[in-house]
Structure 1
């Protein structure tokens, strides 16, 4: 009889597969494969500040030395931004310094203030038209506080979890979302405090994502995409209210 083996299980009860053993890097993500930290800077819009209308979000991704390497502009329509607020659907293509798209984040429209499982938030991350994986909000009575998010690879296998803090409020300090894999912590997604004036006057956010430099680049891309869903769920102001 052959021995029975089992996949590793995290402390949060999710069966998770280990990091891929091959070294495949999707085209365009070679630079990301070398990094152990990515900082996401959202560009403050003067038009949004003056008009109060929600405009397309724009982001710059930089390394720990402050060097820019990816740029993203939200692809959504005017009506959805004004009527659906932070629940809106959008496409977020990332382009490099040569204006070539290397990564894309896609979010469907789902209610962000409903506590029913059918409205759990989702997001897909792809590279060069090929799905890398997806992020799924797990339902609980206190959503979105203390919520756990499962991140799956392209085959639908769970690869890691993202755990939200019980109180995701930024009151003079950073807000940290822990990333937990089958073997323990894999990194973190940190929403950084930008100062009282900036916090009060705009919903532009900065995030710092840390991971092991030798982590599979597809997992890095999934963590990167997850930061944007976290931003919309917790920190993007709902213009409807």
Structure 2
């Protein structure tokens, strides 16, 4: 019998920035596993797709999970937020990290300006979210919230702009030409206690629901003692990948506006106006 050949080994994959390993004994079942993290396999990019957004062409929903920061739980000091973005099968699509300084987080709290860098499975930054310092109350209609989405960084692909309304939180989704594409409408009182909170993604005439952004109830312990939030976003499978990236950015803006405590350990309730 011929001698057995040693198994072929491919190149060692890079570990994505900020990776958090699975629990001991967890076995990856789909996609590429990097140091215990199961990543979604990269599909063939569709035509005119910005690099890194090809993952979005294959999905109609995303799960955004904020990572628990022990420093916030122990001493109540607000740290930079970190998130995992997964598909419906639990495979990680992206890792997101807030880029702010401690002074900004301390002084501005949930209204702080930020840059969020969203990276793929080799640590390559593929999306960048930029939020300037703005008001979030209907009492100041000339200075409402905005978020700019770049993919790749330096190339705007869309915008989220808050729309003035005396009763409800409303937003407009725009493409790279700042043309209106979709609307988002949330509840008058965005209370996260014991139930999910839904922000509906609507057509421009606000008559047809085309998707949803949901803040998921995480359990009494997490809700009371941390500012760690879980979100889901749903959209049509054939939606432009650039607009899908903008809707992902809208999740982060909604989180900061309504569910992000100024420091660890307080319950959030967003009341519009």
Work out whether residues 138 and 166 of structure 2, in 8 Å CA contact, stay in contact via their aligned partners in 1.
no
The answer to whether 1:127 aligns with 2:151 is yes
CA-atom RMSD in angstroms: 1.8
Q: Which residue of 1 aligns with 2:231?
A: 207
TM-score, normalised by the number of residues in structure 2:
0.76
Work out whether residues 86 and 112 of structure 1, in 8 Å CA contact, stay in contact via their aligned partners in 2.
no
Structure 1 residues 144-191: Cα deviation after superposition (integer angstroms, max 9, x where no partner): xx1210111111110000001122112211001000124822210010
Work out whether residues 83 and 97 of structure 2, in 8 Å CA contact, stay in contact via their aligned partners in 1.
yes
CA distance in 2, matches of 1:151, 1:214: 17
- Which of 227, 241, 246 is equivalent to 1:222? 246
In terms of mean alpha carbon deviation, does 214-223 or 22-31 score higher? 22-31
Q: Which residue of 2 aligns with 1:137?
A: 162
Unaligned stretches of 5+ in structure 2?
1-45, 267-273
- Which of 147, 154, 158 is equivalent to 2:180? 158
User: Are the structure 2 counterparts of residues 51 and 113 from structure 1 closer, same or farther at C-alpha, using a change threshold of 3 Å?
Assistant: farther
CA distance in 2, matches of 1:137, 1:218: 19
Q: Which residue of 1 aligns with 2:31?
A: none
Spell out the pairing of 1:80-229 with structure 2 (5 A cutoff): 80-113=104-137, 115-128=139-152, 129-142=154-167, 146-182=168-204, 184-229=208-253
User: Are the structure 2 counterparts of residues 105 and 148 from structure 1 closer, same or farther at C-alpha, using a change threshold of 3 Å?
Assistant: same
What stretches of structure 1 move > 6 A for 4+ residues in a row? none
Query: Between Structure 1 and Structure 2, whose CA radius of gyration is higher?
Result: 2
Work out whether residues 23 and 216 of structure 1, in 8 Å CA contact, stay in contact via their aligned partners in 2.
no
Structure 1 residues 203-229: Cα deviation after superposition (integer angstroms, max 9, x where no partner): 110001111111111111111000100
